[in-house]
A = this chain, B = another copy of it.
């Protein structure tokens, strides 16, 4: 990068005002007379002046940039959340620095630290767990954080989610009322807070309360082939109804069953807990717990803008409504 070609100084000189006045014009401060403003604007246009956001950031201590921490860019669940975030960010003129943390070249807290060093004004966090070092770094720099589609162990940070327990219970009820006796839960990360503190407990309670025998929780089922390969085990365990947290895994299970000549939903009912494009595009289409992903992202970002402006936020743990959408992977009745 070279030295900047045209700076606020050049504009000031050309418009015969001080740089302070140019700055005021640029920032829409109204303590500038109409004539001066017009003259400055004309010069800005003529010289193609564009303010240097880095210098602005240093001087004003606001970068109008937010950090986005996401496990995996190619996971549609996060992509749809991100889209909601992105739209609201654009509306409020924030830029987004995105970092995915599934890549293990760097540890989570290093990634976060590098984001904080960039002086982001706030962070939206979508990963499963928030390491302690990271939480401390956030507090130390006083950077607001909102968790989107995930939750912190001790609810220390603002969050936007759905009511996972209620959703899962409702889904399990659906399976039970369809006459299924052997219900299982298939999750990706066992140590994800949402799973560990919401989904798995909700499942266990449900099984116990309804005397459905031994609980079956399958963990570490993260992608298509994990799901595909899990299916034989499900058969062996006599499972006839499942809730799967990741829809790519659901599809793996679905295809595995079909390839084995089984009937969905007759032999196995499947409900997927994250309804992306994928779930509605496969055949049979998957019955889903439909999370309002776009809205969750949008609400999270909107909340973050408030936190960044030190505005009052009435509720920092927002639960958005979900919907249980029946498609073809459960019996239609």
**Chain A: residues with CB nearer than 8 A to chain B?**
1-3, 5, 48, 50-55, 57-58, 61-63, 65, 68, 72-74, 76, 79-80, 82-83, 86-87, 90-91, 93, 95-100, 103, 105-106, 113-119, 121, 140-143, 224, 248, 251, 255, 258, 277-278, 281-283
Contact = CB atoms under 8 A, between A and B. Distances in A.
Nearest to A136: B48
Contacts of A143: 1
Given A116-B50, A142-B1, A224-B277, A87 B58 contact: no
B281 A255 contact: yes
A119 B62 CA distance: 15
Nearest to A2: B142
Given A103-B90, A116-B50, A74 B65 contact: no
Contacts of A73: 79, 82-83, 86
A2 B61 contact: yes
A51 B2 CA distance: 22
8 contacts: A1-B119, A1-B143, A52-B117, A68-B98, A73-B82, A86-B98, A95-B114, A251-B281
B58 A58 contact: yes
A23 to B, nearest CB: 15
B140 A53 contact: no
| Copies of this chain assembled into the complex | 2
A289 to B, nearest CB: 19
A140 B2 CA distance: 11
A73 to B, nearest CB: 5
A103 B87 contact: yes
- Report which residue of A48, A91, A96, A116 has the largest number of chain B beta carbons within 10 angstroms of its beta carbon: A96
Please name the 5 residue pairs, one residue from A and one from B, whose CB atoms are nearest each other, closest first. A1-B61, A53-B117, A54-B57, A74-B79, A53-B118
A274 to B, nearest CB: 13
Contacts of A1: 61-62, 119, 121, 142-143
Given A53-B117, A54-B54, 17 more contacts: A1-B143, A3-B61, A5-B140, A54-B58, A55-B58, A74-B82, A74-B277, A93-B114, A95-B97, A95-B118, A97-B97, A224-B277, A248-B277, A248-B281, A255-B283, A282-B282, A283-B283
A121 B53 CA distance: 13
A103 B74 contact: no
Nearest to A74: B79
A96 B95 contact: no
Contacts of A51: 117
B86 A119 contact: no
A73 B116 CA distance: 24
